[in-house]
């Protein structure tokens, strides 16, 4: 497949690295010659220096016979215009763009259509983080929750603790405990090593169990691995940027929110059910299950998204708040 990537930053560079390994014909476009040179020295790909939204640069990159255009520059406007030009001038069949501004995403259903801005798939890093944190709030005690089939089915990861009915028993009895719920255990990690789940596999305390079930049954299956936590009722968000504001919008109808270190004049007008605090340091009370609080999970989630795999949030299940190097 012939793919053009606009932007040689962290996202574009990582994407190029992954796609080159799959025997694709990759061309990277960026205005920074240093970044392009570094990519070309490391990988077998073409580079073109220039503005990705210019028709001449796209033509030089091979847009006339490209199968896909992926626009991931740091400018939303550049990404949108590039997709528009690729559609109008070169009839590129697949167009993917990174859009970060909430103003564009708010009207995405009307804006990003062939008759307006022809983008087939949107990538919004902030929205991905917001949705991930929101799902962790929806399912207290979960390590990770990923939705499929428009939210009807979910893949969840949960730590097995003593007190869970399935702990110390084989997976085969899960059907006996929940005869009316369809679920499948997809994987088990024990001491950072994967285990192929079988009916005779004994679930041990400390195992990370990944299972698939209907979204409405996630908490029921979680109750087999550990004692369920109470739903979160009061949540403090530190920061009122795109992520903090977007998460507050999703949460304000179901929880009591405290927001600190935010732009007061903006959020006071936009959020009606939130208490906004203006101070820089927040002292949070320490509790015995600190590692299971939403704040620590959110921090670990952000670290795992922005850093290497050595900072996976599954490290935080321990009963002491310790970040290993």
pLDDT at 250 over 70: yes
pLDDT at 5: 93
Taking residues 264-284, what's their average pLDDT? Answer: 43
User: Residues 157, 144: contact at Cβ < 8 Å?
Assistant: yes
Domains in the chain: ranges and CATH: 2-123 (3.40.50.720), 141-222 (3.30.70.1450), 234-317 (no CATH)
Q: Residue 208 — pLDDT band, cuts 50, 70, 90?
A: very high
Q: pLDDT by residue (tens digit) across 288-304?
A: 333 334 444 443 444 34
pLDDT at 257: 53
pLDDT at 310 over 70: no
pLDDT at 23 over 80: no
Q: pLDDT by residue (tens digit) across 159-182?
A: 999 888 999 999 988 888 888 888
CA distance linking residue 64 with residue 198, whole number of Å: 50
Q: Regarding beta strands 153-159 and 208-214, do their DSSP bridges make them parallel or antiparallel, or are they unpaired? A: antiparallel
Q: Say which residue, 321 or 139, is predicted with more confidence.
A: 139
Query: Could you say which DSSP state residue 8 is in?
Result: -
Give the count of alpha carbons within 13 A of 86, CB side only. Answer: 35
Q: Say which residue, 259 or 184, is predicted with more confidence.
A: 184
pLDDT at 126: 81
CA distance linking residue 6 with residue 97, whole number of Å: 9
Q: pLDDT by residue (tens digit) across 227-247?
A: 888 887 777 777 667 777 778
Q: Residue 255 — pLDDT band, cuts 50, 70, 90?
A: low
pLDDT at 307: 36
Strand ranges inside 89-192, DSSP E: 94-98, 121-123, 142-148, 153-159, 183-190
Q: Residue 50 — pLDDT band, cuts 50, 70, 90?
A: very high
Compute the mean pLDDT over every residue in the chain, rounded to the nearest whole number: 77
pLDDT at 295: 40
Q: pLDDT by residue (tens digit) across 63-120?
A: 998 999 999 998 999 999 999 999 999 998 999 999 888 788 878 888 888 888 889 9
């Amino acid at each position: 497949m012939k793919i053009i990537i606009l932007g040689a930053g962290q996202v574009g560079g990582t994407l190029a690295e992954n796609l080159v390994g799959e025997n694709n014909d990759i061309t990277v476009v960026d205005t920074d010659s240093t970044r392009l040179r570094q990519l070309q020295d490391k990988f077998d790909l073409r580079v073109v220096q220039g503005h990705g939204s210019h028709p001449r640069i796209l033509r030089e990159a091979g847009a006339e016979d490209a199968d896909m255009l992926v626009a991931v520059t740091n400018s939303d406007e550049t990404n949108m215009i590039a997709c528009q030009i690729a559609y109008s001038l070169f009839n590129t069949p697949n167009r993917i763009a990174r859009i970060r501004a909430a103003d564009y995403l708010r009207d995405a259903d009307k804006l990003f259509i062939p008759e307006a801005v022809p983008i087939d798939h949107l990538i919004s890093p902030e929205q991905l983080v917001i949705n991930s944190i929101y799902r962790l709030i929806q399912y207290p005690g979960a390590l990770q929750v990923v939705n499929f089939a428009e939210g009807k089915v979910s893949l969840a990861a949960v730590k097995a603790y003593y007190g869970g009915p399935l702990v110390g028993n084989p997976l085969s009895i899960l059907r006996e405990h929940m005869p009316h719920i369809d679920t499948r255990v997809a994987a088990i990690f024990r001491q950072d090593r994967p285990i192929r789940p079988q009916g005779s596999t004994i679930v041990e305390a400390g195992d990370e169990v990944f299972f698939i079930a209907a979204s409405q049954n996630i908490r029921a299956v979680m109750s087999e691995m550990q004692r369920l936590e109470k739903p979160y009722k009061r949540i403090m968000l530190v920061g009122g940027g795109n992520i903090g504001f977007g998460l507050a919008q999703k949460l304000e109808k179901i929880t009591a929110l405290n927001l600190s270190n935010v732009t007061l004049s903006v959020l006071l007008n936009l959020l009606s059910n939130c208490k906004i605090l203006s101070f820089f340091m927040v002292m949070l009370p320490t509790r015995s299950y600190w590692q299971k609080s939403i704040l620590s999970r959110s921090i670990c989630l952000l670290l795992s998204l922005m850093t290497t795999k050595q900072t996976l949030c599954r490290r935080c299940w321990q009963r002491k708040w310790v970040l290993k190097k």
